[in-house]
Structure 1
Amino acid sequence: MKNVEINILSGFLGSGKTTLLQKILEKEQRGRKKVAVVMNEIGQVSIDSDSVPKNTPLKELLNGCVCCTLSDQLEVQISELLNQYDLDAIYIETTGIAHPIEVLDSCLSPLLAEKVRIHSIITLLDAACWMERKELKIPLQKLIAEQVKHADMIVLNKIDCISRNSLKRIKEELLSMNPRGKIIPAEFASIDIGTIKNLQKKERVEHEKIHAVQHLHMKTYVHTFLHPISEKLFRDFLRTMPDTIYRIKGYIRFTGNPDTLLFQYAYGMPFHTKSGLKMNNTLVFIGDDLDHDNLQETLCNLEDRSVSTAH
């Protein structure tokens, strides 16, 4: 019986994991490879799963992290994929606050050990975020360092946002932390997918256990708008975001625009594109000790003001 290849996509919130996964899946489809995806979201709602092609087997793990609270469920989901499909590879997109080695450990349970082989841990790193990581809380700094340290490949993403000198300095820092990891600079997570296939798996070393949800006090808040909202009021709202909100993602419609937009926000930078989908106007906020009541009140007020100014 063949062993199914497992690839783990790691990296902090907003580093570009879903964008890279899309590019990998396109390449695998062209090569007629049979692949499946396991997608983990720390919140109760999955946004990124819409980016997975409809004919790709997909399992979703919501409201927790596969490296700790959902490790048993990960084992069950992988087992189901192996039983239901004849696969060549499974890609696991972790939450931005997962420890890749603990995800790897969950894949090597006795139930799965003879059916799968770990091919690679790929960590995506936002170049600008790496330069400013000292402003994050200590547990988050440690987590990002661990994601770098245990990667077979580090995709240093968004290098268009930094200078050449900064790029050189970051490469040196990453090499000192992970001498055997392959470092690939990238913009928009564009890399030669073939380099993943040719990766030499490195020997695993001891890791520092960081329980993301408890130690990092990471929480999520999900909000659904019933009406389109004012783009200006929404932009004003984003300018008030505290540093403790690391990521916002979801779907949104603005007043006077029929399109549903895929919205992303990371490290203070908002970005939206046409989604081509008819989705609920739902946003997922991920951050440190989120104030749910305050967020709910602010967003409900924003919607009320949007509706009143539209009439």
Structure 2
Amino acid sequence: MEKVEVFILSGFLGSGKTTLLQNVLTQEKEKNRKVAVVMNELGQVSIDSNAVSTNTPLKELLNGCVCCTIQGQFEVQLQSLLQEYELDAIYIETTGVAHPIEVLDACMSPLFAEKLYVQSVVTMIDANRWKDRKSLSTQLQMLLQEQVRHADVLLLNKVDLLPENEQGQLVFEIQSINSAAKCLLTKHAAVRIDDLRSVKNIERKPHERAHVDLDLKLKTFVYTFTNPIDLEVFEEWLRNMPDTIYRMKGYLRFTHSTHTYLFQYSYGTPIYMKELMNYPATLVFIGEKLDPKWMRAEMEKIEEGSVEKRWE
């Protein structure tokens, strides 16, 4: 089954995310692709939902941010979209104060992570807002930097309002924070959908077929365990894992218990909670520089180590 593309539209308040969304939805319609939108607003009333045509499936999340207070609701809405519609892509317009890692985390529920293919985190930057960011609180300045640092595609919007020398300085500042991202200057958020795909073509030898390799700055990895694992073996791995793994969540079964456990890991803290339902033992990882081959080998070692422990 084809995976559903996901585009996360990030960026500070007023940077142009809704205009960007309108632009890409027009292009998707021209391509006859089936798309859906999830729109998150901090307030109790949706301001921007009129930007989405009535024949496009839309889920609205109000009065909170998907990256914290309403993450559970967000997962339910995504699951609902995947069940109700056959989709090619889902566009997620975040609140202006959302953190990209937290939003990506909310997308990767172990119940449906294998059905989604996160194409990119796209961060919109209002050129003038960035230039005057020192007037914001320290916390908001840090958030702006985080939105830039974790993006795959950076759209420097409203650049027509700046002289050329200031545009160059803006690009230099942005790329000094995130040199790996694709960086584009835009007016009125005008951009092609293909420019939002964060991919690189890998050259192959003549007898090998060239293929496209996803080059996300934030990567995800999904693994399903075949058998229960040993808690001590698993926790030993947690203690020694790379610090580039930011998040883990999923369902685990352990050799010492008949229960399924909901497992959450963030900021160095693992949490285990007994579940009443018997979900598949699927674990989702979010981080930078995650090598899928290495991750798979590490999870297989945990399974092998658990079997060896059982026979001791």
TM-score range, shorter chain: 0.5 to 0.7
Equivalent-residue separation in structure 1 for 2:157 and 2:174 (angstroms): 13
Q: Does 1:34 align with 2:34?
A: yes
Q: Does 1:203 align with 2:217?
A: yes
Q: CA deviation at 1:117?
A: 1.4
Q: Which residue of 2 aligns with 1:128?
A: 128
Q: Which residue of 2 aligns with 1:85?
A: 85
Decide whether aligned partners of structure 1 residues 155 and 207 sit closer, same or farther in structure 2, where only a CA change above 3 A counts. farther
Q: Does 1:147 align with 2:147?
A: yes
Percent same amino acid among aligned pairs? 53
Superimposed CA distance per residue, residues 18-37 of structure 1 (whole angstroms, 9 cap, x where no aligned partner): 00000000000100110000
Q: Which residue of 2 aligns with 1:170?
A: 170
Equivalent-residue separation in structure 1 for 2:196 and 2:104 (angstroms): 17
- SS of 1:54's equivalent in the other structure is coil
Task: Calculate the TM-score normalised by the size of structure 1.
Answer: 0.65
Q: Does 1:76 align with 2:76?
A: yes
- SS of 1:114's equivalent in the other structure is helix
Q: Which residue of 2 aligns with 1:48?
A: 48
Equivalent-residue separation in structure 2 for 1:182 and 1:79 (angstroms): 30
**In the comparison of the two structures, how many residue pairs are matched?**
209
Superimposed CA distance per residue, residues 217-274 of structure 1 (whole angstroms, 9 cap, x where no aligned partner): xxxxxxxxxxxxxxxxxxxxxxxxxxxxxxxxxxxxxxxxxxxxxxxxxxxxxxxxxx
Q: CA deviation at 1:124?
A: 0.3
Decide whether aligned partners of structure 1 residues 137 and 128 sit closer, same or farther in structure 2, where only a CA change above 3 A counts. same
| 5+ residue gaps, structure 2 | 201-214, 220-243, 248-312
Equivalent-residue separation in structure 2 for 1:56 and 1:166 (angstroms): 39
Q: Which residue of 2 aligns with 1:157?
A: 157
Larger gyration radius, structure 1 or structure 2: 2
- SS of 1:36's equivalent in the other structure is strand
Contact 1:101 1:207 in 2 (8 A): no
Equivalent-residue separation in structure 1 for 2:136 and 2:217 (angstroms): 29
Equivalent-residue separation in structure 2 for 1:108 and 1:194 (angstroms): 23
Decide whether aligned partners of structure 1 residues 67 and 207 sit closer, same or farther in structure 2, where only a CA change above 3 A counts. farther
Q: CA deviation at 1:122?
A: 0.4
Q: Which residue of 1 aligns with 2:96?
A: 96
Q: CA deviation at 1:208?
A: 9.6
Contact 1:146 1:208 in 2 (8 A): no
Amino acid in structure 1 at the alignment position of 2:127: A
Over the aligned positions, Cα root-mean-square deviation in angstroms equals 1.7
Equivalent-residue separation in structure 1 for 2:18 and 2:153 (angstroms): 16
What does 1:116-265 correspond to in 2, within 5 Å? 116-197=116-197, 199-200=199-200, 201-204=215-218
Amino acid in structure 1 at the alignment position of 2:156: L
Decide whether aligned partners of structure 1 residues 133 and 33 sit closer, same or farther in structure 2, where only a CA change above 3 A counts. same
Equivalent-residue separation in structure 1 for 2:191 and 2:109 (angstroms): 31
Amino acid in structure 1 at the alignment position of 2:61: L
Amino acid in structure 2 at the alignment position of 1:54: T
Equivalent-residue separation in structure 1 for 2:104 and 2:53 (angstroms): 25
Q: CA deviation at 1:198?
A: 5.7
Equivalent-residue separation in structure 1 for 2:119 and 2:187 (angstroms): 24
Equivalent-residue separation in structure 2 for 1:40 and 1:100 (angstroms): 13
Contact 2:16 2:124 in 1 (8 A): yes
Equivalent-residue separation in structure 1 for 2:7 and 2:13 (angstroms): 18
- SS of 2:113's equivalent in the other structure is coil
Amino acid in structure 2 at the alignment position of 1:102: E
Equivalent-residue separation in structure 2 for 1:139 and 1:42 (angstroms): 18
Superimposed CA distance per residue, residues 165-221 of structure 1 (whole angstroms, 9 cap, x where no aligned partner): 111011111111111101110111112232124645323285999xxxxxxxxxxxx
- SS of 2:10's equivalent in the other structure is strand
Equivalent-residue separation in structure 2 for 1:178 and 1:106 (angstroms): 23
Contact 1:149 1:177 in 2 (8 A): yes
| 5+ residue gaps, structure 1 | 210-311
Contact 1:44 1:62 in 2 (8 A): yes
Deviating beyond 4 angstroms after TM superposition, the runs of 4 or more aligned structure 1 residues are 205-209
